A = this chain, B = another copy of it.
Amino acid sequence: MKKHEHILLAHGSGGRMTSELVESVFLPALRNPYLAPLSDSAVLEELPPGRPALTTDAFVVDPLVFAGGNLGKLAVCGTVNDLAMAGARPAWLTLAVILEEGLETGTLETLVESAAAAAREAGVQLVAGDTKVVPRGKGDGAFAVTSGLGVVPPGRELVDGRIRPGDAILVSGSLGDHGATILAARHGLESATLRSDCAPLGGLVERVLASGAAVRSMHDPTRGGLATVCNEVAGRSGTRLVLDEESVPVRPEVRATCELLGLDPLYLACEGRVVLWVAAEDAERALEAMRDHPLGAGAVRIGTVEASTNGYAPVVMHTRSGGDRPIDVLSGLDLPRIC
């Protein structure tokens, strides 16, 4: 079987060269009993009891490979995490890629191997895929879209409507690592310590839920960061969220990158962090459960839910100097192609 050094348009034709690409690059990394890349659909086992959850995400990150991850790992983690946030146990994933003619086959192999490794870590199987190729100058290396099917076990309900004044707001680790890493790379500001937090959160989430803590809802602060997630949650739950500046964890290298680029870490994307809303009396239990897991070692409480002020400053930061600063939703151009 002939392997080309670069992706050619014919690799997306659906004919012999598409098969060769699938067999030489995708199947060696992803092979499993359900994978049906050349068939029409993957036909699976019956799902365990519960409500199915379905999600999709497109990934157009630039650069394709960055400290701590790459497009392939990100595409798997992003979708696994979207399922986990809904309380769903991720079961099956699909992966579609849109490649630009001329992409190095070695780069594609790196992306696919990382996707496979992330899927193994998350305990999910990639069961269906598709590859398309667009001419040089009509794409940008590679784009990826993953979709995920999971099951929310009976009795589990994580929705923002359950959030009540008095609840604690927790985060599983430092904020903005992914966003700062991508933006630093784009500006030639790489540092030895800056590294994306990109990781699959299913295991961490199951650990917290198994602790018995009354978790109301959770979200991963991706595009738009903590600030955007908090504004969405405040809107949907009809509450006010008060964050404590002193407690919000931001690594010094992330803070330094933000200062250089004129950014606020509260708006930077994470790809391996979860923000949780938990009954106040269970906050410590939830934090301990998270800290028992490698991905939750830096878990802390960052704020408290208060009663709504009827839409006036629904999210505020209690600052080090003792004031309250309103935290608005991201608007304007901001941060394209972060994921």
Contacts and interface: CB of A to CB of B under 8 A. Distances in A.
Given A41-B85, A43-B152, A47-B47, A10 B333 contact: yes
B44 A82 contact: no
A300 interface: no
A228 B15 contact: yes
B130 A329 contact: no
Interface string A2-22: 000000111011111110000
A86 interface: yes
B41 A133 contact: no
Contact of A14 (B8, B143, B330): B330
Counting every copy of the chain, the complex holds 2
- Sorting the interface of chain A by its residue count into under 10, 10 to 19, 20 to 34 or 35 or more gives 35 or more
A58 interface: yes
Contacts of A50: 46
Interface stretch (A189-197, A219-227, A308-316): A219-227
Given A43-B53, A51-B43, A138-B139, A98 B336 contact: no
A75 to B, nearest CB: 11
A223 B15 contact: yes
Given A83-B41, A223-B14, A331-B17, A56 B94 contact: yes
A88 interface: yes
A41 B86 contact: yes
Contacts of A299: none
Most central of A54, A148, A332 by chain B CB within 10 Å: A54
Most central of A18, A96, A331 by chain B CB within 10 Å: A96
7 contacts: A15-B329, A15-B334, A40-B81, A41-B83, A55-B128, A58-B145, A60-B98
Given A10-B333, A132-B143, A139-B140, 5 more contacts: A42-B55, A44-B52, A56-B95, A60-B98, A139-B139
Interface of A: 8-10, 12-18, 38-47, 49-60, 81-83, 85-86, 88, 92, 94-98, 127-135, 137-140, 143, 145, 147-150, 152, 219-220, 222-224, 228, 232, 267, 269, 329-337
